[in-house]
Every structure is written in structure tokens, then in C-alpha cells.
Structure 1
Amino acid sequence: MLYRLFPIIIVLILAGCEDDISLSNGTVTQLGDKGILIGHFSQDGTKLVTVDSSNSLSVWNSDTRAPEFTVPQDKMPDMVREVVLSKDNNMLIVVGDNQLRFWSLTSKKLVTKVNFTGVSGYGYISSVALSPAMDKIVVAMSDGTVNMAHLHTQVNNQFAPHSRPVMHVEWDDKGELFLTAAQDGKLALWRFGSPEPVFTKEFNHRVTSLAVRNDFSEFFVSDALDNQVIASLIDGADKSELKYMARFKVFRKALFIEQSRLLATSSSKSQLTIWDTKSGNELGTWQINTVNSGATIVDMYAPSKEKLVTLSSDGLLEEWALNMLANRR
């Protein structure tokens, strides 16, 4: 029996060696020294917005890594639930429990405040998404409520399609459709203004991660245990399922690498994993650079199919060379 196992062990060792490809080009810089609670790259990657542990919000230039604007502390909500940058990088939305504060980044002034509530009266804002044309906004709540508001007409259509906090909202590239995913395990595609879903998908556990392609052709969704799929945004049909050896994996952030078959995901720990979207195969898992134990990836940006930049909860910007995975499937 030992002789029969020996070749298998050798194969496993060699397979493990193949995963030792070094993707990281190292830490680029560290944004502040107080850790990052919330962090987002702008859509074009030229800006970064962060909220640190002292409730300080800064907008950074991605090239110079210098802060361009900091919201005055007396203008900050007691708890920041989310921050949103407009597509043109001229508008910043700071989200509190029940209020959106709109800032002009060109004039660096607070423009207006808008309040939102749930149907229950006790819900707080759990996720916000601004349309590409910046004329519509979806404000989702912890009680499962979804507000669909026109910023110009100030008309708000409110309905409650979920029973638990809605943690993910994603617009299409035309500003007509949007996805919601919640802790009740439900995901749905909606046409703005309509309470009837285009399609729905249900999972056994809460949805922890959601990502869409820029052209809105497909999406990645993960529940909290063992269901991670890439599906079509035409009808929600599964196209592939992620495959891995562990009994289950926890997925937090996710990003499609445009013009490629790659999907990047982060775990609840200090790990980055790259997947093949066609086969669902795991191409490898790598440790991010950390300052503190338990650091995680808070956001990712891919300027090209050959490069990925991650932002960690330590405030570290780290670059990754994805071209090393070109021949792996």
C-alpha cells in the first residue's frame, strides 16, 4: 500500500509547487496609519476614498497617493455606513444611518442632504448605488426595503422585496437595470421604477459577495457557505461554479478582470484568490502584505487584464502581476 501511495504523494507535491507563482509586486504605499474601515476605488481607478478608524474620510489621488480632500469632522455622520463616488469623480456621497450627504469635489462643499427610511420605520441604510448618469439612486435598507429615487424629480418609489439587510446593489452600464442581494439569501434583477423582478435567484445562506462585469453580461455571487456561481444577466442561469478542495470558503470582495477569464476574490482573512471564470477552477491563493493580523482586502481595481491593485484594511496598496497566470486554466 505504501508503494502505491508514493507516486500519488509525488504528484500532489508537484501540483502544490505549481501554485507557488509569485504574483505580488509588493506594497506601493500605505494610506494613513489608522486602518481602513471603508475603502473604494473610483470607477476609473484615479481616485480612492477611505474612512479610517477615527471616522476620518479622505479622497486620495491614486497616482500621487496624496489626499485631495478630507471631509471636516463636524460634517461627518456619527457612523458612516457607506461612501459613493460618482462616475465622473465630481460627486461624493457620504452615507449615514438614514441620510445621504452630497459633496461637490470640485468646489469641496456640502451640496445637500437627503433622508431615506425603510417601510418598517426602524431600518438604516445598508447599501447605496448611484446610476452611471448620476440621475438615479438606489438606497437599500437593513429591513429589506429598496428605495428607487430620481435625483432630478425627487420622486421615490419604495418597496420591500427582501426580509433581511440588502448588502449589495449593482447598476447596469446604461442606468436602467440593477441587482440587489441580501442577507435573506435572495438575489434579484430589477428594472428601475418597477417592483416586479426580471428574475430572482435564491440561496440557502446570506449573500456575502456580488460582482458584475462592466458590460453587465454576467455576475458572480456567493452565499455564506458553499454556493459560488457565475451566472448570466439575461436570465440568471448559472454558467459555471467555483471549484475548490476545502469544504467551504468565505468570500468577501470580488472583481471580474475585464477582457479576461479571471475573477479575483478575497476571503475574510488575508488572502487573494484568482479563478478561471469558464471552468470555475481555482488558479491559486496568495497572502496579501499585512501590518496587523486579521487584515483583509477592502477593495480591488484592475487597470488592465495584466494588473490588479488591492487595498487592505491596513491601508496598504499592493500591486499584482496577473500575466503570470496567462497559461494556467
Structure 2
Amino acid sequence: MLWISVLLSWVCACSVPQSEPLQQWEHAEAGAYAADISSSGQIAVVAGMNNTISVWQVGEAEPVYQWSHQGDTATLIGNIHIAADDSTIVTADRDAFALWSMAQGDPIGFWRIDESSIRDVAVANQGQGVLVGRGNGKVMYFEPETGRRMEFLGHQSKVNSVDISPNGKYALTGGNDYVAYLWSTETGQIIHTFNHPSRVTLVAVDDKGRYAFTADSQQKSQIWNLQTGAPVANLQYIARQKIFTDAVFSDDGQYLLTGSPARRIYLWEVKTGEQIGEWAVSPRDGASMPSALVYAVAFVNNNTVLSESSSGFAELWEIEHE
């Protein structure tokens, strides 16, 4: 039985994540309902209590801006996305979305969706295009400056996650119909189809156009070659199920960083799908359950990563290199 003991010791040792951040900042006093971190790892946008959206320069003691989504109306901000160039931010509740300028701190526009609830949003560089995934299976691509609007009707069921290329030309969407599609926002034509055995819960596009990530509600969490549509690696884990809440690729394309609904942040090797790092974000003191949902993750540099979670904390973590 010695080999069993050794194996169990190895599994236990590998499953204990780092839980002490290098630094921690409180960005939402009573907890957060949604958040995103910029691709640069320098800006965080957090939706807290009382319909308040705070924009932070990470590391600063006070927010750069504080916004209200629908005036005095009590709304729950469920989705936030920062453009890859840090220029614009889109925020959304179930019924409406707003576009904001990072430079001026002012709203660019506010639009209401009457047909179906908003499930996810994404915005391209300079706010040139906004993607809105909805509960009726439709995805709207909208250009605020020109007013051009396109409906993508490829999904047969509820859309759960959307992402957009920095130039706004390509959309990646996934839904309850077990499929993720890469499609053109210029023509609406499908470029690649990524099939899954269960509902697709998260999609993410590499900002440099090399990879796509799609994950379902069971065990298929796949990295794809964005140019060819061919599989690169399936994330390697023993658990029968893993749900991911956010995913970003490193600038050099070697790593994938993911967040989860159960405090965990994972670092993966892109070529193999092997997990090479893990951290556990902090719950709020006095919380009835010591847990937190990781809303957003980002690479700050080659040595550190950043997280935003439902506990209202931004936390900086060290990558332990071998």
C-alpha cells in the first residue's frame, strides 16, 4: 500500500493552492457583483452595491471614476468588459448596456434591449463594435458610431458567453446548444464551429489572434488554433467537472489564466493543457460561507497575475517559476 500513500501525498501536495497574495486592495466595500481587468493588468472596473461602478487604476487608493448605470434606478450590473486597448468599457444589466470613455470618464451612449435579457457583452478597441449575447439565442453586433446593427442567428438556444477580437471583425460566442462559433461581424458568416458534449459556459479570444478558448459545463475545456480551427490542447484535470468564469492568454502565447466560481485561479500551459499554477482568492471576513467567485483575471507581467472577485478585493499573485 506504500505506492497508494505516496500517490495520495502527491495529489494533496499539488492540490493546495497559494492563498497569500503579494498585495490586496479593496475595490467594493460590501462585495462585488461583476468586474473586469484590462489586458494590460493596470485597470479594473468593479460593480458594487447601490448601482455603483468604480474604475480603478490598480494600486491606487481611490477610484478614477464612479459611474451609475441607470441613474437612481436600482439595477444589478451583471457584465463588464474593457476593450483590449483600455479605451472603452461596456457595462450591462439584464435590460440595457452602456458604453463609457476611459479617457474622459463620460458615457458614450446607453441602449436598452427589449426583446430578451442580456447574458454577456464585449467591446472592441475604441468602442467601434459592441457584442451582446442574449437569452433568446441571438447575438447582436452593434457599431455605436455608425448605428450599424447585425443579428447573428446561429445559436439554437441561450447564449452564455461572448468575446470579440480587438479590431472588432470577429466574434466568438457559445451557448446552451453545445456549440461555440467564430464568426465575422462584417458578413455574419461562420468561420469555425467548435462542438462540445454539453452547454458552452465560457469563450475567450486571444487578443493577438492566435488562440480561442471554449469551455463547457462538464469536462471539455479546449484551446483551439484560431486561424485553422484545429484543437491545440484540452485542459488536463481529474475532476469530473470544472466551471470557468474568465480566461486570458499571456502576451507570449505560452500560458492561459482562468478564474472559477470557487475561489480558484489556475495557470495552464497552452501547448499541453497542463496546470502549472493555482491560487485561492480571499473571502470577505465574517462571510457566512468562506467562498468567492473569481470574476476576472489578468497577467500583469511574467511574474505576477491579478484577480478581481466577488469578495470585492483585487489581489496580486506571484507566479512561482521552476
Identical pairs, percent = 21
The two structures, once aligned, show a CA RMSD in angstroms of 2.6
Q: Within 2, Cα distance between the matches of 1:105 and 1:256?
A: 23
Please, what TM-score do these two structures have when normalized by structure 1? 0.85
Match of 2:179 among 171, 186, 201: 186
Q: Which amino acid aligns with 1:237?
A: A
Q: Within 1, Cα distance between the matches of 2:68 and 2:197?
A: 43
Q: Within 2, Cα distance between the matches of 1:90 and 1:278?
A: 31
Deviation at 1:223, TM superposition (A): 0.3
- The alignment status of 1:54 with 2:50, answered yes or no, reads yes
Deviation at 1:284, TM superposition (A): 4.5
Instruction: Give the SS at the match of 1:304.
Output: coil
Residues 185 and 280 of structure 1, relative CA distance in 2, 3 Å threshold: same
Q: Within 2, Cα distance between the matches of 1:237 and 1:187?
A: 13
Q: Within 2, Cα distance between the matches of 1:60 and 1:15?
A: 38
Greater Rg over alpha carbons, structure = 1
State the partner residue of 2:96.
Answer: 99
Match of 1:9 among 5, 9, 23: 5
Q: Which amino acid aligns with 2:157?
A: R
| Farther-moved stretch of structure 1 (17-26 vs 234-243) | 17-26
CA contact (8 A) 2:84 2:207 kept: no
Residues 204 and 76 of structure 1, relative CA distance in 2, 3 Å threshold: farther
Deviation at 1:144, TM superposition (A): 1.1
State the partner residue of 2:167.
Answer: 174
Q: Within 1, Cα distance between the matches of 2:192 and 2:273?
A: 23
User: CA-to-partner distance for each residue in 1:214-246, whole Å, 9 max, x for gaps?
Assistant: 211112211001111111112322111122222
CA contact (8 A) 1:30 1:315 kept: yes
| Farther-moved stretch of structure 1 (29-38 vs 169-178) | 169-178
User: CA-to-partner distance for each residue in 1:249-275, whole Å, 9 max, x for gaps?
Assistant: 222222223325332222321222222
Q: Within 1, Cα distance between the matches of 2:110 and 2:152?
A: 22
Instruction: Give the SS at the match of 1:9.
Output: helix
Deviation at 1:35, TM superposition (A): 0.3
User: CA-to-partner distance for each residue in 1:264-314, whole Å, 9 max, x for gaps?
Assistant: 222321222222222222235432222232212111111112210111111
Q: Within 1, Cα distance between the matches of 2:80 and 2:140?
A: 17
Residues 202 and 263 of structure 1, relative CA distance in 2, 3 Å threshold: same
State the partner residue of 2:293.
Answer: 296
Structure 2 segments unaligned to the other structure (5+ residues):
none
Residues 10 and 96 of structure 1, relative CA distance in 2, 3 Å threshold: closer
Structure 1 segments unaligned to the other structure (5+ residues):
none
| Farther-moved stretch of structure 1 (256-265 vs 211-220) | 256-265
Q: Within 2, Cα distance between the matches of 1:84 and 1:284?
A: 25
Please, what TM-score do these two structures have when normalized by structure 2? 0.87
Q: Which amino acid aligns with 1:283?
A: I
Deviation at 1:146, TM superposition (A): 1.6
- The alignment status of 1:28 with 2:11, answered yes or no, reads no
Q: Within 2, Cα distance between the matches of 1:170 and 1:253?
A: 11
Q: Which amino acid aligns with 1:95?
A: A
Match of 1:315 among 279, 288, 312: 312
CA contact (8 A) 2:215 2:244 kept: yes
Deviation at 1:11, TM superposition (A): 4.9
Q: Which amino acid aligns with 1:100?
A: F
Instruction: Give the SS at the match of 1:71.
Output: strand
State the partner residue of 2:148.
Answer: 155
Residues 68 and 13 of structure 1, relative CA distance in 2, 3 Å threshold: same
Q: Within 2, Cα distance between the matches of 1:213 and 1:92?
A: 18
Give aligned pairs, total: 317
User: CA-to-partner distance for each residue in 1:36-79, whole Å, 9 max, x for gaps?
Assistant: 11011123232211111332211122131411221247626533
Deviation at 1:104, TM superposition (A): 4.0
Instruction: Give the SS at the match of 1:75.
Output: coil
Q: Within 2, Cα distance between the matches of 1:251 and 1:66?
A: 30
Match of 1:229 among 222, 226, 244: 222
